[in-house]
Amino acid sequence: MPLRVVFAGTPAFALPPLAALAGQHLLVGVLTQPDRPAGRGRVLAAGAVKQAALALHVPVIQPPRLRGDPVALQSTLTRLCEWQPDVMVVVAYGLILPRAVLALPRLGCLNIHASLLPRWRGAAPIQRAILAGDVESGVCIMQMDEGLDTGAVLAEARQRIGSETTAAQLQDELAALGAAQLLAVLPALAAGQLHARPQAPEGVTYAEKLSKSEARVDWQQPAARIDRQIRAFNPWPVAETTLQGEPVKLWRSRLAPDAAATAPPGTLLGLQGDALEISCGSGVVQVLELQRAGRKAVPARDFLNAARATDAAPLVFQ
């Protein structure tokens, strides 16, 4: 039997679960964050979830915050009562839900979180997992409480992190995985067939929000660390270095197998297959895709050909 669902989410990661719900349940309303300035013109733009909800002709509300703003909270509660949801599904919404909202749907509020809880609670679990060198990630569907990703878990699914997996790729994989898990959880929850499992007190880690300052590559670091940095910061904030005084973004990479650094850190050692090999503090990283300022991202071979055409001296990233 279809459930009356309110959906709360903002970015593209939330789109697969939103589409899955719209196909099998009655989507009665959407909460999403206010429109934000975007692009070079800094024009206000709707987030991915708002655009999808409007295309589905689903009513949308955009409270600026819910905690510490009694007026916004009361207005939101009024709309939620009008929508009469059986359940609220929350995916990367970006606002903390107060107790009054959590208690309103009869089946509670469910969150799809992109990690294997209690590891990587918080804002950037996908990127932090790659940065830490985790070989596995996944999604958990939890019954929300007032804590930061502390709710009891109803279901989980695991996903391998490959040696070349970027955050963008893992995000897409986990979004699809979460959508599939959600469709299995909802009917079982409504039928009283699911029992939430409290999170273990051991193994708790926190995935702090990303900052642009983390994107700068320090070539003195080991190659394994730099490789993880490049993959974790695709698509944002994108790992960045400098070549010939010009900023360069590094989009994709892999670790060179059993390679020892034979030149000072940052030195371009040459092209190996489809990758630029760059010496690091220890080891060698292979960069597959790069982008000069104001230009498109290009494969390593094309980037090297353009760089050699402008300067025949040894190339050193700084």
pLDDT at 310: 55
Question: Does 245 lie in the same domain as 168?
Answer: no
- 207, 242, 266: which is the final residue of a domain? 207
Domain count, the chain: 2
Q: Could you tell me the pLDDT band of residue 309, with boundaries at 50, 70 and 90?
A: low
pLDDT at 180: 97
Question: Does 135 lie in the same domain as 246?
Answer: no
- pLDDT exceeds cutoff 90 at 31: yes
Express as a percent the part of the chain with pLDDT over 70.
98
In this structure, the dihedral spanned by the alpha carbons of residues 223, 229, 235 and 240, taken in order and rounded to 10 degrees, is -80
Question: Does 146 lie in the same domain as 14?
Answer: yes
Can you tell me the distance from the alpha carbon of 236 to that of 32, in angstroms, rounded to the nearest whole number?
A: 21
Question: Does 187 lie in the same domain as 85?
Answer: yes
Backbone torsion region of residue 155, taken as left when φ is above 0, otherwise alpha when ψ lies between -120 and 50, otherwise beta: beta
Dump the DSSP string for 236-256.
TT-EEEEETTEEEEEEEEEEP
Question: For residues 238 and 215, is the Cβ–Cβ distance under 8 A?
Answer: yes
Backbone angles phi, psi at 127, to 5 degrees: -65, -40
Segment 222-232, tens digit of pLDDT: 999 999 999 99
Residue 279's domain spans which residues?
212-310
Question: Does 188 lie in the same domain as 60?
Answer: yes
Segment 37-73, tens digit of pLDDT: 877 777 888 999 999 999 999 999 999 989 888 999 9
Segment 94-116, tens digit of pLDDT: 999 999 999 999 999 999 999 99
Mean pLDDT of the chain: 94
Report which of 296, 253, 243 is spatially closest to residue 275, judged by C-alpha positions: 253
Q: Could you tell me the pLDDT band of residue 122, with boundaries at 50, 70 and 90?
A: very high
Question: CA separation (Å) from 123 to 2, 3, 34, 151?
Answer: 31, 29, 18, 15
Per the listing, tokens 């509660």 go with: 77
The whole-number average pLDDT for the span 275-297 is 96
pLDDT at 69: 85
**Residue 161: inside a domain, yes or no?**
yes
Express as a percent the part of the chain with pLDDT over 90.
87
- 184, 207, 230: which is the final residue of a domain? 207
